[in-house]
Amino acid sequence: DAKTTQPTSMDCAEGRAANLPCNHSTISGNEYVYWYRQIHSQGPQYIIHGLKNNETNEMASLIITEDRKSSTLILPHATLRDTAVYYCIVRVNRAGNQFYFGTGTSLTVIP
Amino acid sequence: GAVVSQHPSWVICKSGTSVKIECRSLDFQATTMFWYRQFPKQSLMLMATSNEGSKATYEQGVEKDKFLINHASLTLSTLTVTSAHPEDSSFYICSARGGLTGARVNEQFFGPGTRLTVL
């Protein structure tokens, strides 16, 4: 199963863009990249996912490199409420389609 | 839409007792539910995958006789921690998949979690 590597923690100034990187060098060609975030003592919240193309929704943008070995989640205008642990997940592409969470990045948005 | 609830949100029990945690998909039918455990300052660890009407598939290292999973309907899965001990104290989170099609068909919706403290 493809493993993800993320920085342990990051800071971002309020109102600025937060760019969260993720390495997934062993990803297979048909495995999707998902991003979730978890605010303290709550269940994870879906942010975005993608396969090959860059994706954008109302929460964030996902940039996937051409070789698909890494991706970046972009929060365009970070707010204090974006302070959370962000998980980059490569969805297993077999029966069950499980998520295996890595260590995640603890993002702190600073006023 | 796509709301998942858990009950209870917090439970304290004595060592040796059993605790049941419920996971419900409130506005969709969940074809698959998942159970995770999260220790303080750690990531989520997948415990088992549960499909309605069939036996759960447990991850390596997870004792199926200790963590009993029942998925009797498309909207309810239960996790029973049997003979709980202090080391079982953790944050238990369920997720459900279903109700969406197309590109979001495999998206998981997570419950708010249940904090178990075993004295």
B91, B111 contact by CB (below 8 A): no
- On whether any CB of chain A is under 8 Å from the CB of B97, the answer is yes
Mean pLDDT in residue range B12-25: 96
CB A78 within 8 Å of CB A84: no
Say which range, A44-48, A95-99, B103-107, has the weakest mean pLDDT. B103-107
Contact indicator for A96, B57 with CB cutoff of 8 Å: yes
Tell me, what's the pLDDT at A61? Answer: 98
Count, in order, helices (H) and strands (E) of chain B. 0, 11
pLDDT in tens, B35-71: 999 999 999 999 999 988 888 999 999 999 999 999 9
According to DSSP, the residues that pair with B28 across neighbouring strands are: none
Render pLDDT for B91-115 as a digit per residue (tens, 0 to 9).
999 999 986 777 677 889 999 999 9
- Minimum distance, in Å, between the CA of residue A10 and any CA atom of chain B: 16
Task: Tokens for B5, please give them.
Answer: 């609830």
Question: Pairing between strand B10-13 and B114-118?
Answer: parallel
Q: Which of B35, B41, B44, B94 would best serve as a mutation to test chain A binding (most A beta carbons within 10 A)?
A: B44
